[in-house]
């Protein structure tokens, strides 16, 4: 746990423990948690046929998972793209060069994409000598090497000397600076890069492997020359405004803050492993300060609102309701479900009911916002989801927002992760009052109960029936994706809310990555359920 990192030998009061004490004492006041709860063991039945083992969807999902992973690799320089246009290790957002032009490398997209490759290696540690694994290792280490170069390019966000240039959101595909006007700085890039590279270092250490790229002498070199500058940037800038992950609003955002916090936690571990004690202390202080801000000062969670608020400034000004799939993406990117300390150290993990409440609120809004969803009829069916209710970007310009593949796949992934978490850690399922209608959409959950909270004890009939229904419901979001990709499984950025046909940048890397990640957690959730059974 981070609290162990924050301890010292002199016996002074640990600031992290102060935060924990404050959190424990203020939780009920801040989050409005009611004492009234019911424990339900029986009496809940699924609207799905849980014995249905139809392979039609499974067959398509297996094929599309391979297509999606191929789609990821196709957009990485030196792996799928072999030309001077794209640097080795650079991840282009899309091959589209006009209407719209996404032929750039975004720091955010690249980090999230490369992390998928790391996760693939983590899942296939018994075949690290295979040609594919070697190709992935080359891609990851080329990305790390290219990151070293990008960090040192002076740009319109700032210089390398001041480290302000690390907030630059995107570069040309050949790693030249992007010189046009843009929403900058975007402060989530360094944190996401730290998370990805730290995960890769953890993979190397776990498997007794060394770095093989000729421009990367050692893990210590990567720490000192690449991770440390990014971590310094985070420690110096976590409390400053920047543009959000959709590149539209200059403010403080949950996605940025939460991924920064995860990066600081990773940095604390690595700096400790590298015996960098002074820097380790600096990171600890930044971690404690940022965590306190997220919990008590940011406005990301307000007591009388059940869902997370991505950009509190817009909510307080009455410009937006606060709902944003970015808040759900934040919890996916900032938490390792296999590390129990993340549930304590980093707020808004999958075990926090606010996460599912956020998804539930998005589903309720977009069920009627997008005409293609009204045709689906049954509430037990997944829906096409977009970014946020007030969205007006149509993939080409400003008119009306559409559903996104990223958002729809994210809904599926978060549900699979919830099931995995419950079974892997043997946890009860807690359903808050604002979620009653959500769970009643795919089970006969009694929404008339007067309890403020319902608990389904682990492994009870009600628990099993509901969690298996969650799996079916998660699948139904993947069925939506199946309806809107083309015959070859290609995935653009969006699909039209009236016609359902794809729009925006073609072969979007992040769309493929989101689908692949959802499928990864589908398998892990299924394995966890089967393993316990």
Q: Are strands 242-243 and 38-39 parallel, antiparallel or unpaired?
A: unpaired
Consecutive H or E run containing 188: none
Q: Any idea what DSSP says for residue 163?
A: S
**What is the C-alpha end-to-end distance of the chain, expressed in Å?**
30
Token pair 């690390």 is found at 166
450 given a catalytic annotation: no
* Strand extents, DSSP E, 4-142: 38-39, 104-106
H helices present in 293-350, as ranges: 312-316, 325-334, 341-345
Choose the catalytic residue: 109, 168, 244, 391: 244
H helices present in 299-386, as ranges: 312-316, 325-334, 341-345, 353-369, 371-374
Choose the catalytic residue: 154, 247, 248, 365: 247
Contacts of residues 1-8 at CB distance under 8 Å and 24 or more positions apart, as own/partner, are 1/341, 1/344, 1/345, 2/265, 2/268, 2/284, 2/287, 2/341, 2/344, 2/345, 3/345, 5/268, 5/269, 5/272, 5/280, 5/284, 6/284, 6/287, 6/288
How many residues are recorded in the chain? 533
If you compute the radius of gyration of the chain from its CA atoms, what whole number of angstroms results?
Answer: 22
Q: Any idea what DSSP says for residue 176?
A: P
Calculate the alpha carbon distances from 374 to 20, 345, 380, 499 in Å. Answer: 45, 40, 13, 12
Are the C-beta atoms of 308 and 355 separated by less than 8 Å?
yes
* Strand extents, DSSP E, 312-452: 429-432
Are the C-beta atoms of 471 and 403 separated by less than 8 Å?
no
Query: Which tokens in the block code for residue 109?
Result: 């997209």
Q: Which of 296, 361, 294 is nearest to 323 (CA)?
A: 361
Are the C-beta atoms of 385 and 411 separated by less than 8 Å?
yes
CA distance 246 to 365: 19
Calculate the alpha carbon distances from 177 to 226, 252, 345, 439 in Å. Answer: 18, 25, 36, 48
CA distance 201 to 190: 16
* Strand extents, DSSP E, 176-291: 242-243, 250-251
Are the C-beta atoms of 355 and 329 separated by less than 8 Å?
no
Residue 403, exposed/middle/buried by CB under 10 A (0-12, 13-18, 19+)? buried
247 given a catalytic annotation: yes
- Residues annotated as catalytic (active site), given as ranges: 244, 247
């Amino acid at each position: 746990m981070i609290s162990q990192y924050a301890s010292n030998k002199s016996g002074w009061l640990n600031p992290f423990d102060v935060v924990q004490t404050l959190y424990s004492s203020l939780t009920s006041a801040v989050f409005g948690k009611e004492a009234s709860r019911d424990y339900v063991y029986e009496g809940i039945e699924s609207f799905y046929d849980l014995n249905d083992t139809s392979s039609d969807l499974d067959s398509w999902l297996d094929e599309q998972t391979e297509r999606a992973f191929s789609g990821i690799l196709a957009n990485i320089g030196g792996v799928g793209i072999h030309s001077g246009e794209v640097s080795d290790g650079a991840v282009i957002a899309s091959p589209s060069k006009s209407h719209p032009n996404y032929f750039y490398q975004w720091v955010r997209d690249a980090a999230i994409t490369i992390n998928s490759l790391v996760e693939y290696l983590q899942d296939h540690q018994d075949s690290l000598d295979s040609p594919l694994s070697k190709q992935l290792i080359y891609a990851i280490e080329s990305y790390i090497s290219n990151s070293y170069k990008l960090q040192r390019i002076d740009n319109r966000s700032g210089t390398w000397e001041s480290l302000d240039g690390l907030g630059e959101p995107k570069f040309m595909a050949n790693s030249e600076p992007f010189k046009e006007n843009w929403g900058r700085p975007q402060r989530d890039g360094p944190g996401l890069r730290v998370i990805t590279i730290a995960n890769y270092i953890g993979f190397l250490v776990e498997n007794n492997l060394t770095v093989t790229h000729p421009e990367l002498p050692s893990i210590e070199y990567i720490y000192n020359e690449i991770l440390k500058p990014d971590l310094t940037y985070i420690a110096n800038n976590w409390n400053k405004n920047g543009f959000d992950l959709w590149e539209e609003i200059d403010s403080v955002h949950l996605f940025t803050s939460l991924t920064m916090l995860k990066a600081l936690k990773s940095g604390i571990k690595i700096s400790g492993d590298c015996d960098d004690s002074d820097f380790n202390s600096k990171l600890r202080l930044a971690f404690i300060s940022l965590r306190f801000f997220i919990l008590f000062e940011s406005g990301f969670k307000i007591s009388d609102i059940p869902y997370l608020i991505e950009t509190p400034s817009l909510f307080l000004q009455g410009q937006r309701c606060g709902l944003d799939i970015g808040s759900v993406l934040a919890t996916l990117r900032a938490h390792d479900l296999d590390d129990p300390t993340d549930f304590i150290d980093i707020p808004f993990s999958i075990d926090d009911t606010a996460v599912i409440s956020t998804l539930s609120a998005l589903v309720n809004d977009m069920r009627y916002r997008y005409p293609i969803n009204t045709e689906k009829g049954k509430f037990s069916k997944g829906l096409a989801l977009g970014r946020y209710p007030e969205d007006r970007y149509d993939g080409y310009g400003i008119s009306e927002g559409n559903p996104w593949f990223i958002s729809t796949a994210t809904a599926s992934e978060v549900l699979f992760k919830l099931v995995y978490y419950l079974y892997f850690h043997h946890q009860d399922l807690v359903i808050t009052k604002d979620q009653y209608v959500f769970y009643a959409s795919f089970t006969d959950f009694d929404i008339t109960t007067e309890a403020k909270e319902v608990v389904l004890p682990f492994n009870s009939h009600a628990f099993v029936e509901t969690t298996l229904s969650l799996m079916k419901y998660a699948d139904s979001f993947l069925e939506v994706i199946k309806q809107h990709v083309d015959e070859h499984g290609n995935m653009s950025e969006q699909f039209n809310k009236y016609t359902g046909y794809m729009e925006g940048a073609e072969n979007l890397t992040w769309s493929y990555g989101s689908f692949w990640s959802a499928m990864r957690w589908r398998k892990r959730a299924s394995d966890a359920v089967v393993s316990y059974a």
